[in-house]
Structure 1
Amino acid sequence: MAQEVRGVIAPGKDEPVRVETIVIPDPGPGEAVVRVQACGVCHTDLHYKQGGINDDFPFLLGHEAAGVVESVGENVDEVAPGDFVILNWRAVCGQCRACLRGRPQYCFDTHNAEQKMTLTDGTELSPALGIGAFAEKTLVAAGQCTKVDAQAPATVAGLLGCGVMAGIGAAINTGQVGRGDSVAVIGCGGVGDAAVAGARLAGAAKIIAIDVDDRKLETAKSMGATHTFNSRDDDPVEAVRALTGGFGADVVIEAVGRPETYKQAFYARDLAGTVVLVGVPTPDMKLELPLLDVFGRGGALKSSWYGDCLPSRDFPMLIDLYLQGRLDLAAFVTETVELDQVEHAFERMHEGDVLRSVVVL
């Protein structure tokens, strides 16, 4: 029987979000209904509200979430009612050429729930990243649920659903940072700070954080940065080279998503070093680099999509590290808010006042 719950929708481009009654259908084959306990307020949700993703309004916002499985449909064996899970937006198909080659983290046919959640008048909702978790309950594909240790608070566990996983994965999975490496991170928002934390986990010897905001640089220090530079005051390329014997960093992670910062990352890496782009550019952005420099510097230029993560592998591991005291996920949570405070959380995000606001249900 369908349920009615409260949820936050974006009704139209740049319109204020509002709390509405959402209709959640019973789960069909391969689907699950999850009672959401907490959901982080991510920049991607703001992009949806601003029409920067697509124009499939109204959107049911929220995607960085953790909660408890309430019910499942037929043919579900990944999770069961009562499981504590983190939601992800990449339920792998198991049948595409990437999955069949043993690389499910690159699945080319990820999927979401088939049924639609609606408003009470029948208007279909577009769930953010196929999740829609600024709601008391949500309907997802069962493969979007990853069971983890229930000792972890939902307020921190849910952060692995997007930004924190993207940053940690950019360092560990995509950049393959190793013990003793030098790492530079350009852009120290939530994803950049997570990349700093990931580099620390991987055993990097030098972790150089670069931003234009001294507040963010202080936070990066607390996450494990050994050196910080405000690029308003110092040339970041020269700063990185000065700290690495004049050579550049082994891995440079660009967490901004702009051509000018990508160029800085490109020239701040060592010969045969690696550049990882995890910042999300806009469709109009163009990059121009001398092809001879691309050839002459060697190494690798990589893009990191969701930190190249495999949720079934990475989420439980990172939760275990948190419970062991080796990964301070709680440091990413600036404040907790209620459903009707999401618009305010967006304002604080825009002003750079928070690392993460987390909606608690």
Structure 2
Amino acid sequence: MTEVRAVVATGKGAPVEVVDIRVPDPGPGEAVVRVQACGVCHTDLHYREGGINDDYPFLLGHEAAGVVEAVGDGVHDVEPGDFVVLNWRAVCGVCRACKRGRPQYCFDTHNASQPMTLTDGTPLSPALGIGAFAEKTLVHAGQCTKVDPAARAAVVGLLGCGVMAGIGAAVNTGGAGPGDTVAVIGCGGVGDGAVAGANLAGARRIIAVDTDPAKLEWAKQFGATHTVNASEADTVAAIRDLTGGFGADIVIDAVGVPATYQQAFYARDLAGTVVLVGVPTPDMKLELPLQDVFSRGGSLKSSWYGDCLPSRDFPMLTELYQQGKLPLEKFVTEEISLDQVESAFAKMHDGEVLRSVVVF
């Protein structure tokens, strides 16, 4: 058992607190990771606001990289000293998806069995089964993905969630490739990840859509060839104008509200693909004419974590970053300390940053 400093959300909408928590020694199948860096993601804010569930107190943070400090019995894939990026979909290997050779869709992913707690013994709910706004965290060993230790933790840790979700939405789910036209609606961390993924895949035209001019400028850094300010132009008409009147081959909705999904649906070419990677809330409803669904053909897809397989994708994307082919470093707007997470939430909410990263 170890005591460390960590960021905890104690109640809905309440400012987060930096407190001491207890991290157990790893049990069978578990690992303790000394966190080196952790990005501030919208999902952490959703947890604080009660948008995920009400299992307070939450141990926040999940976009993280660090070094394995200890492992429990039965752990063979990682060992103390390994530099890892943490993932929230440790595959089980035995569910029906895994047995069919589709582990990226694993229906029974793993987390650590033991709880981390407050010093009074109150169990904590770790964000996405990770809880990495902490000097150390306890995870399932399958949540540790080894990458090149020469990579910067503050950069590659972002592969743990939003950036991977975006890249994967374009490459894995959307199947973007050379010559394709891709439109991305919503240019925060996930949307810019999708832009970067489309660029990496060789798309010939990448259209970034947002209502914030600053975010549209950010999107250009990741490969957007055209931008559309949705507060000044009709999104569907603008995307059609930029694609010869046809619509894009792939349209990625990185916002996740009915209005942007409908825009994505009608902004794609015939037989085109819509990818939903923005996360809707439980109360949202979508209404589309079924005749339009049939007559337009193509695919309507949802992207879970960018349909990634961490053991395959994290090392590959880390290598591409180190080769200068994937500008992951441009996602990092600022590096902050643990006690600046609350102010980072405010900056993120106001659109002032792409990613704040806590560095230990």
| TM-score bucket (shorter structure) | over 0.9
* Alpha-carbon offset, residue 78 of structure 1: 1.4
- Counterpart residue number, 1:318: 317
2:132 match: secondary structure: coil
- Counterpart residue number, 2:181: 182
Structure 1 unaligned residues grouped into runs of 5+: none
2:98 match: secondary structure: helix
Deviation per residue, 1:106-149 (Å, 9 max, x gap) = 00000100000001110000000000000000000000000000
Tell me, in whole angstroms, the C-alpha distance in 1 between the residues paired with 2:146 and 2:325: 20
Deviation per residue, 1:233-286 (Å, 9 max, x gap) = 111111111111111000000000010010000000000000000001111000
Give, as a single letter, the amino acid of the residue that structure 2 aligns with 1:300.
Answer: S
Tell me, in whole angstroms, the C-alpha distance in 2 between the residues paired with 1:69 and 1:123: 25
Tell me, in whole angstroms, the C-alpha distance in 1 between the residues paired with 2:209 and 2:327: 21
- Counterpart residue number, 1:354: 353
1:71 match: secondary structure: strand
Tell me, in whole angstroms, the C-alpha distance in 1 between the residues paired with 2:192 and 2:108: 30
- Counterpart residue number, 2:85: 86
- Counterpart residue number, 2:112: 113
Asked if 1:228 is matched to 2:233, the reply is: no
| 1:33-182 matched pairs, under 5 angstroms | 33-182=32-181
Tell me, in whole angstroms, the C-alpha distance in 2 between the residues paired with 1:37 and 1:264: 40
2:357 match: secondary structure: strand
2:158 match: secondary structure: helix
Asked if 1:340 is matched to 2:346, the reply is: no
Deviation per residue, 1:87-123 (Å, 9 max, x gap) = 0001110000000000000000001000000011100
Tell me, in whole angstroms, the C-alpha distance in 1 between the residues paired with 2:267 and 2:340: 40
- Counterpart residue number, 2:8: 9
Give, as a single letter, the amino acid of the residue that structure 2 aligns with 1:83.
Answer: D
2:176 match: secondary structure: coil
- Counterpart residue number, 2:268: 269
- Paired residues in the alignment total 360
Give, as a single letter, the amino acid of the residue that structure 2 aligns with 1:180.
Answer: G
| 1:180-259 matched pairs, under 5 angstroms | 180-259=179-258
Tell me, in whole angstroms, the C-alpha distance in 1 between the residues paired with 2:342 and 2:185: 28
Tell me, in whole angstroms, the C-alpha distance in 1 between the residues paired with 2:339 and 2:282: 32
2:45 match: secondary structure: helix
Tell me, in whole angstroms, the C-alpha distance in 2 between the residues paired with 1:321 and 1:125: 36
* Alpha-carbon offset, residue 232 of structure 1: 1.1
* Alpha-carbon offset, residue 77 of structure 1: 0.8
Tell me, in whole angstroms, the C-alpha distance in 2 between the residues paired with 1:269 and 1:29: 48
Tell me, in whole angstroms, the C-alpha distance in 1 between the residues paired with 2:160 and 2:14: 26
Tell me, in whole angstroms, the C-alpha distance in 2 between the residues paired with 1:126 and 1:234: 43
Tell me, in whole angstroms, the C-alpha distance in 2 between the residues paired with 1:348 and 1:233: 24
Asked if 1:31 is matched to 2:41, the reply is: no
Tell me, in whole angstroms, the C-alpha distance in 2 between the residues paired with 1:226 and 1:132: 37
TM-score (norm 2): 1.00
Tell me, in whole angstroms, the C-alpha distance in 1 between the residues paired with 2:211 and 2:130: 33
Give, as a single letter, the amino acid of the residue that structure 2 aligns with 1:346.
Answer: F
Tell me, in whole angstroms, the C-alpha distance in 1 between the residues paired with 2:317 and 2:309: 12
1:198 match: secondary structure: helix
Give, as a single letter, the amino acid of the residue that structure 2 aligns with 1:225.
Answer: A
* Alpha-carbon offset, residue 315 of structure 1: 0.1
- Counterpart residue number, 1:298: 297
2:312 match: secondary structure: helix
Give, as a single letter, the amino acid of the residue that structure 1 aligns with 2:52.
Answer: I
Deviation per residue, 1:8-58 (Å, 9 max, x gap) = 000111111011111011100000000000000000000000000000000
Tell me, in whole angstroms, the C-alpha distance in 2 between the residues paired with 1:34 and 1:271: 48
* Alpha-carbon offset, residue 221 of structure 1: 0.8
Structure 2 unaligned residues grouped into runs of 5+: none
Tell me, in whole angstroms, the C-alpha distance in 1 between the residues paired with 2:279 and 2:253: 10
1:238 match: secondary structure: helix
User: Structure 1 stretches (4+) deviating beyond 6 angstroms?
Assistant: none
